[in-house]
Chains A and B, each alone.
Chain A
Amino acid sequence: MKQKLVVIGAGMASGRMLEHLFDNGGDFDVTLFNAEPRGNYNRLMLSPVLSGEKTYDQIVTHDADWYASHGVDCRFGEPVVRIDRTKRIVYSNAGGVPYDALVIATGSAPFIVPVPGKDLPGVCAYRDLEDTNKMIAASGPGAKAVVIGGGLLGLEAAAGMTARGAEVTVIHLMGHLMERQLDPAAGYLLQRDLESRGIRIHCKGATKAILGKDRVEAVLLDDGTVYPADLVCMAVGIRPEVRLANDAHLDVGRGITVDDQLRTSDLAIFALGECIEHDKQLFGLVAPLYDQARVLAETLLGREAAFKPVQTATKLKVTGVDLFSAGDFADGPGREDIVFRDPGRGVYKRLILEGERLLGAVMYGDTADGSWFFDLIKQGRDVTDLRETLIFGPAFQGGASANPLAAVAALPPEAEICGCNGVCKGKIVTAIEGGATTLDAVRSLTKASASCGTCTGLVEQVMALTLGDGFTANANPPMCKCTDHTHEDVRRLIKSMGLKSIPAVMQDLGWKTVGGCASCRPALNYYLISDWPTDYVDDRQSRFVNERNHANIQKDGTYSVVPRMWGGVTNPAELRAIADAADKYNVPMIKVTGGQRIDLLGVRKEDLPAIWLDFNAAGMVSGHAYAKGLRTVKTCVGTEFCRFGTQDSTGLGIKLEKLLWGSWTPAKVKLGVSGCPRNCAEATCKDIGVVCVDSGYEISVAGAAGMDVRETEFLYKATSEAEVMEVIAAFTQLYRENARYLHRIYKWVAKVGLEWCRAQMDDPANRRALYDRFMLSQSIYQTDPWAELAVTPADWAPIADLTLRAAE
């Protein structure tokens, strides 16, 4: 007589199990119960149904013909309500069916957050076709939906409803999306991608209540935020559906307990799928369920088989989002990471190794190699010899060689080296053979490594291969020990990735330290000020002491104070104020500086606000003698008083100083304006110099008179003061936008070439645009820091004085 097999639940696991059973000649009388009013379909594919990319008919896995041909008695829409183990009968509301063997495959039930309003109409889970259809109905254009839960299901729900035109907000309890599958960096990239599709993401959001009278109207969070909603989808997790098993007194932990043969505590009852617990483990993805299905079919056929859980990998099924995670990727002692980021393409890959084995992989943006990594994880294979090039995937694993250079050598000419600009190896080799022997030359010829710079190492390897001994690696070291990026790369990336805060730079560029160091922080602060004048707020704590305190610290801890003297011109009132201040604050030394102004040395820190106030009252502002910014404009007396003068050099110098003061630059900037080629203002050894002649103004740049001494070189000949001002502001902006921190103008010009600077200035539209950007920045930064800081004198004194406090 045929064995009577009853199956409870027509889901992913049981469907696969029945296939195996029939394919292997199993001869059973099968009765298949399902709570849902339909047979087996591919639950995973509900998301494409939700987004409109597929219809329900396309995801049905077993149709009426299939069941009929295998003689399956289908009881769809008929939930089982009770199992009588002693009589071996299962009951639905329509009556009982006897069994010889019983399979429980009831899957899991969505977890519903126990908040007020959870039962309002318009609240749904995401588990079956009914839920999917509710969401489809509610997500026409203009509709508002809130998804609670930023895991796999929640995000697929959100993306699906967005595709149908709804305005969707995802509320996620944790700090980043899909925290179980992704690390924070990949979670961040995912969030950015989803936001760019118009999905609003609210992380660290705890739902307090679902609001509404007759149906949902809004969702209220703990922090008081309210999001209006026509539909609320809860996707916060699942629980094994174990009610029947509990009632039947089977052994149940978190799921129905089974052994390696998927047998429960009752010899005639088996279970598989999400409803089980095997070796203390629960299951939420289909891959292990398919193994269970095979093992259970074998068991029922009376053959030997044992279930062994395997690692699982996750992919998010949102069209256009490429994400893959597998294995274990938590930080842990003895674990090492290999990280590859290509911010230009939005690619992030991270491999987690323990000893010689690959434990986990997280990939975002480019997941092509996911299955290869997944294989390595599953095999637990020793990857020591692949290590150097492991992150580049199988394409790089040419033979047994572990030498990265050999791996690059093995690449075909059409292999892409620079992802940002799509430059292949062949093109780079051609450029090198054509005479480009430095990285900069290769960069300017091919654009390889010219965008995000992550491929610089690869480009250098191609160069080393092509040039052999003729190649010396670029001497451009990383910015500091906190990062592998050079200053140039960091500047490029800040712009290309739109990074607008120091934490964003450190996160997105993979800083290796927590809060940077005293070398990178001031540089980053400058780059952000220069690139995002309207968005970024200056971080005082990332400045060196002199800029933070707006005075120069001296070796004994006192400060020097230098008020501005426009163009080196002063008057009796200013001189009196300086003399008074020197008396009042016991200034030990007053010195005339090389930049034509007066320095008061030896001022105590707590006196700074008061002395600034006094100078402000006399109409003087900070001279920024401490700043990587505009210092002085030295002038001669010009036509006003000198018999040789050709133009009003003093007046022009004052105008220039009033134009440029307050601007932050990569390093200090000093100007000189001389009234004739006799050059009494020594303009030709300044960062920027102007020498007046009868026919106009000769502007030259890149002089130096410090550790290096050099004469300026010609930049531009102007015919009016207005033109001088525009060119100099534009040139300063060019320097601000491109130079690396702490490089004076002469160093920067030596790198980029004066020709290039000239070309920028000679193009009127470009010059004007630079000028406009400079003025935009000045509209924010041209303020007197002394006036701002003098109002809180308490900040400059000790917070507590214990000198008089005796011990008790």
Chain B
Amino acid sequence: MSQFIDIAALDDIPRQGARLVKTQSGCIAVFRTADDQVFAIDDRCPHKGGPLSEGIVHGTAVTCPLHAAVFDLNTGQSTDDWHVKTYAVRVDGGRVMLDAAFLARRSAA
């Protein structure tokens, strides 16, 4: 079941940039594209742990700042076949809402 919680104002995230949400099991990077779409994926690059939130955002993709793997923000899939987890996120009246259902799963586990 999805459970959207308000995490920030859309304008707190720069266009073509990202901000972090801290969770018990690592950081989630919340991205905003040039045309105001938002995406949320795990911040940690599976290659060598590069912080994806610090990558350059182009279209709906981000390039890892350490070794330039390119991740599709929609799917979390990279061109080098790594994968990061994606989270449901949406914008509601200028607020960014993140689906926190994963918290329940994690604490239940």
Binding site for B on A (CB under 8 A): 513-518, 521-522, 540-545, 548-549, 553, 555-557, 798-803, 805-808
Contact = CB atoms under 8 A, between A and B. Distances in A.
B22 A800 contact: yes
A518 B70 contact: yes
A516 B14 contact: no
Contacts of A556: 49
Contact of B103 (A517, A541, A807): A807
Contacts of A808: 3, 104
Contacts of B50: 557
B23 to A, nearest CB: 5
18 contacts: A514-B58, A514-B59, A516-B58, A517-B58, A518-B70, A521-B58, A548-B54, A549-B54, A553-B54, A799-B19, A799-B20, A801-B21, A803-B22, A806-B103, A807-B100, A807-B104, A807-B106, A807-B107
A799 B55 contact: no
B83 interface: no
Nearest to A548: B54
Contacts of A798: 19-22, 27
Contacts of B54: 545, 548-549, 553
B21 A541 contact: no
Interface residues of B, number: 41
Contacts of B24: 802-803
Contacts of B84: none
A378 B15 CA distance: 46
Nearest to A546: B65
Given A557-B51, A798-B19, A805-B100, A521 B56 contact: yes
Contacts of A799: 7-8, 12-13, 19-21, 30
Contact of A545 (B55, B100, B106): B55
Contacts of A542: 16, 56
Contacts of B59: 513-515
Nearest to A804: B24
Closest 9 CB pairs of A and B: A518-B63, A807-B104, A541-B16, A798-B20, A518-B56, A514-B59, A545-B65, A800-B7, A515-B58
Contacts, number: 97
Interface in B79-108: 98, 100, 103-104, 106-108
Most buried by B among A513, A798, A807, A808: A798
A351 B58 CA distance: 28
A555 B48 contact: yes
Contacts of A800: 7-8, 21-22, 98
B23 A540 contact: no
Interface in B39-65: 48-51, 54-59, 63, 65
Contacts of B70: 517-518
Contacts of B8: 799-800
Nearest to B60: A514
A609 to B, nearest CB: 15
Nearest to B3: A808
Contacts of A553: 51, 54, 65-66
| Most chain B beta-carbon contacts within 10 A, residue among A513, A514, A800 | A800
Given A799-B8, A799-B13, A799-B20, A806 B107 contact: yes
Contacts of A541: 14-17, 56-57
Contacts of A801: 21-22
Contacts of B34: 514-515
B101 to A, nearest CB: 9
Contacts of B21: 798-802
Contacts of A515: 16, 33-34, 57-59
Contacts of B27: 798
Contacts of B57: 515, 541
Contacts of A543: 56
